[in-house]
């Protein structure tokens, strides 16, 4: 999965991405990004370093075990919500 992600394929989400973040949601998103990157020594605006950090998602951050919960595509958004309820 890491090799695939690092090849920079087109994004094809099952659920549409938000069109934009506004107001408090935009501010919170930026604040979290600043904190995340600062915690791993990445300066805001360093796109290469942030891309490398993003790819760590596909290495599961070195976790010894990972649980991946899936749903049938036919269940659409409701299936995704059900998966979210299982892990919350």
Kindly tell me if the per-residue pLDDT of 86 is higher than 70.
no
Tokens of 13: 């989400």
Mean pLDDT score of the chain: 87
Whole-angstrom Cα distance, residue 13 to residue 73? 12
Does position 33 have pLDDT exceeding 60, yes or no? yes
Task: Write the secondary structure of 3-54 as one string of H (helix), E (strand) and C (coil).
Answer: HHHHCCCCCCCCCCCCCCCCHHHHHHHHHHHHHHHHHCCCCCCCHHHHHHHH
Distance CA 15, CA 71 (A): 13
Range of the domain at 10: 2-87
22 touches 29 (CB < 8 A): no
Average pLDDT of 44-56? Answer: 90
Confidence band for 87, pLDDT divided at 50, 70 and 90: low
How do residues 3-27 score in pLDDT, each as one tens digit? Answer: 888 888 888 887 888 899 999 999 9
Q: Is the pLDDT of residue 65 over 60?
A: yes
Distances (CA, A) of 66 to 6, 26, 43: 20, 30, 29
pLDDT at 88 (0 to 100): 54
Residue 6 is predicted with a pLDDT of 83
Q: How many structural domains are present in the chain? A: 1
């Amino acid at each position: 999965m890491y090799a695939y992600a690092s090849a920079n394929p087109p994004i094809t989400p099952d659920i549409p991405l938000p069109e934009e973040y506004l107001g408090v949601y935009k501010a919170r998103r930026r604040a979290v990004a600043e904190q995340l990157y600062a915690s791993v020594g990445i300066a805001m605006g360093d796109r290469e370093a942030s891309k490398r950090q993003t790819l760590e998602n596909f290495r599961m951050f070195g976790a010894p075990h990972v649980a991946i919960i899936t749903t049938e595509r036919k269940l659409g958004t409701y299936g995704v919500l059900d998966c979210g309820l299982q892990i919350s």
